[in-house]
A and B are shown apart, each in its own frame.
Chain A
Amino acid sequence: NAGVMQNPRHLVRRRGQEARLRCSPMKGHSHVYWYRQLPEEGLKFMVYLQKENIIDESGMPKERFSAEFPKEGPSILRIQQVVRGDSAAYFCASSPAFPGAQPQHFGDGTRLSIL
């Protein structure tokens, strides 16, 4: 029973390039959450998605960042025109259709480095 799968584990981009981070939720989970973790800091919520819908994107920067969770395929976090400050670990979590009492299950993250 596979857990949350994130790829790539490590991603290196030059300033101005695009970064695409992928997340496949656990089987049977229809809710996906993206978090960013900066060195020596906690997890910062970015966006919460269900299939084909963005439920809450209050933690997402207004520019250059976007997220989707299509009907088929993984959830994608896209960062356009990356800058040095985007260097961080990005974690995806998933939960079943009725969250709250259900814990979020986390992937191992994608570590993004900007040169």
Chain B
Amino acid sequence: AQSVTQLGSHVSVSEGALVLLRCNYSSSVPPYLFWYVQYPNQGLQLLLKYTTGATLVKGINGFEAEFKKSETSFHLTKPSAHMSDAAEYFCAVSETDTGNQFYFGTGTSLTVIP
């Protein structure tokens, strides 16, 4: 069975500072990995995804994530935080052999301090 762990349910950064949101997964098969963002009273929007190929993937709004198989991690980063980045972020994994269900982490709430 797959599982996703997001360390830190709440993260605060200053505007302009580095954003680092952590995600670790467990999987018995090569995973597909995703990061989603959720703004208040809205659904989830896809930020980026890793399927195959280059392990550093770039997404929207300046975010990127690196798949590290040896560490079973897929941490999300952004060099410089903007006030508009304040939101809830979810990491998700799906299986490559069936791929029919996503497993979501419990989310990390990002606060950006002016």
Contact = CB atoms under 8 A, between A and B. Distances in A.
Nearest to A4: B43
B44 A42 contact: no
Contact of B100 (A42, A48, A91, A108): A48
A6 B43 CA distance: 10
Interface string B21-62: 000000000001010100001111110010100000000000
Interface residues of A, number: 26
Interface stretch (A63-71, A75-83, A95-103): A95-103
Contacts of B44: 43, 91, 93, 106
Contacts, number: 63
Contacts of A104: 102
Nearest to A102: B99
B67 interface: no
A105 B49 CA distance: 13
Nearest to B46: A103
A94 B97 CA distance: 19
A45 B105 contact: no
Interface stretch (B12-20, B69-77, B78-86, B88-96): B88-96
B69 to A, nearest CB: 17
Given A100-B32, A103-B49, A31 B43 contact: no
A35 B2 CA distance: 17
A56 B44 CA distance: 21
Given A91-B43, A103-B34, A33 B102 contact: yes
Interface of A: 4, 6, 31, 33, 35, 41-43, 45, 48, 55-56, 91, 93, 98-101, 103-109, 111
